[in-house]
Amino acid sequence: MTKPTLRVSEMFYSIQGEGPFCGQPSVFLRLQGCNLTCGGKTTLKSKQCEEGATWRCDSIEVWTKGKQWGFDEICKEWEDQHWIQKLKNGAHLIITGGEPLLQIQALELFLTYYLERYKQLPFIEIETNGTIEPSSLLRTYINHYNVSFKLTNSGLKKQQYYLKKAIQYFAKLENAIFKFVVSSKEDVKELELLYISPFQLKQSKIILMPSADNRQALKALEPSIIEFCKEKSWRYSTRLHIEVWDKKTGV
Ligand code: SF4
């Protein structure tokens, strides 16, 4: 039997840069592949925002590459880097991508393997675009979901990101929050119409983030997005990794 593997783009130890756990020391497991291409269909090649997009995926150059890692290989690497101890001490494990739920089965197997090997799991956050439902087994392992539903400003076709069954599923999860990348009043109106009203998303779980992939753009947009948050009583999230490291990833 072939050994199970995960397709991994990068692994690193840093701090959570977004959302309710912003600032939390975390081990990042970035999985390869995504079912969307925020920024437009051929944004990877053009490196531009296409099809009316106001932002493009800031990790697309990373998650399009990767290699297969055996579970033992991953754990040995984390042991060598002393990350297992950090996870035991309370660092979060952030499973991100790309879209990590494209690898549900391998993730189930990996977390089961991890639990058997170390007798405990860390606090696990998963970052998802909200188009794929997790399995019931995987759900027992995940402590927190950062769900980033998409809008027209992603440059994608609505049928690619607006999958009602999946949205309904995440809307009902107690341990999910909803992050929206916005830059204008139109974006705010759209997310209310597409997501909040029809799926009754809890207002207290809505987080707005500026649609910026570099420090300069982030600084320029911040004040207006904070005003939207104040008006609606939603939470604001910066993108700490961009504030600190600008366009560099894996740090
Ligand atoms: S869903 Fe996330 S990872 Fe995939 S292209 Fe969009 S921003 Fe990037």
Boundaries of every domain in the chain: 5-245
- For 191-237, the pLDDT digits (tens) are 999 999 999 999 999 999 998 888 898 999 999 999 999 999 999 99
Residue 224 DSSP class: H
Q: How far is CA 13 from CA 180, 228, 239, in A?
A: 25, 32, 17
CATH code reported for the domain at 5-245 = 3.20.20.70
Q: Which atom of ligand 1 lies at the shortest distance from residue 96's CA? A: 3
Quick one: pLDDT at residue 244?
85
Distance 115 CA to ligand 1 centre (A): 29
> Ligand 1 pocket: which residues have CB below 6 Å?
34, 36-38, 57, 59-60, 63, 97-99, 129
Residue in the structure block whose two tokens are 């920024």: 39
Q: Which atom of ligand 1 lies at the shortest distance from residue 59's CA? A: 8
Q: Which residues pair with 10 in a beta bridge?
A: 30
Report which residue type is found at 162. Y
Quick one: pLDDT at residue 251?
77
Residues with pLDDT less than 50, the chain: none
Distance 244 CA to ligand 1 centre (A): 21
